[in-house]
């Protein structure tokens, strides 16, 4: 497979373009910070992206082991699931940006029809990866909403308790 060899040879360039376009989804100030700040503790989102996009690309080149893919996507999507600045499509759509990064990096080579055919197959793997990402993202959002609902319920319960609107029912039942 000629495309696989080209992708392996150009991996660093492709992943760098993918990372840059993924970070560019954020507002300008955030994007600038994420590109400039290299400290993983000061920039956990940028660090999570830079650590996981390369291995994710490797999985696309190989057999696409679902466990490995999930282990690389999960940290990225957990962070994105709690960020109110990104829509659901932006949170998972970063994977589609890989297609553009590949096309930009392999412009000359894509004039070969065989390479182009192989690219279409490879892009279907990217689409499959996006669907996996969407499932992971939805599970993370469900968990976030569950936590918010529990917190709101607990807050309401504590407010009623402080106001004296709740009493415990005796063990032998309510007296009539």
Residue 10 in this model has a pLDDT that exceeds 60: yes
pLDDT of residue 175: 61
pLDDT of residue 113: 92
pLDDT of residue 165: 80
CA atoms within 13 A on the CB side of 83: 21
pLDDT of residue 174: 60
Could you tell me which of 101, 99, 98, 89 has the C-alpha nearest to residue 134? 89
pLDDT in tens, 82-108: 988 888 999 999 999 999 999 999 999
Handedness of CA 17, 123, 11, 61 (dihedral sign): positive
pLDDT in tens, 27-55: 999 999 999 998 989 999 999 999 999 99
pLDDT in tens, 135-159: 999 999 999 889 889 899 889 888 8
pTM above 0.85, yes or no: no
């Amino acid at each position: 497979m000629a495309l696989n060899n080209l992708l392996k040879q150009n991996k660093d360039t492709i992943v760098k373009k993918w990372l840059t376009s993924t970070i560019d989804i954020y507002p300008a100030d955030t994007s600038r910070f994420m590109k400039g700040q290299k400290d993983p503790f000061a920039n956990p989102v940028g660090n999570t992206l830079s650590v996981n996009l390369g291995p994710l690309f490797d999985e696309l080149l190989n057999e696409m082991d679902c466990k490995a893919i999930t282990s690389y996507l999960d940290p990225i999507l957990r962070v994105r699931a709690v960020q109110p600045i990104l829509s659901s499509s932006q949170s998972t759509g970063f994977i589609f940006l890989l297609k553009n990064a590949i096309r930009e990096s392999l412009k000359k080579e894509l004039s070969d029809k065989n390479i182009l055919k192989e690219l279409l197959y490879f892009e279907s793997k990217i689409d499959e990866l996006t669907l996996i990402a969407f499932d992971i993202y939805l599970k993370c959002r469900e968990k976030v909403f569950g936590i918010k609902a529990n917190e709101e319920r607990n807050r309401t319960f504590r407010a009623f308790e402080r106001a004296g609107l709740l009493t415990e029912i005796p063990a032998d039942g309510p007296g009539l």
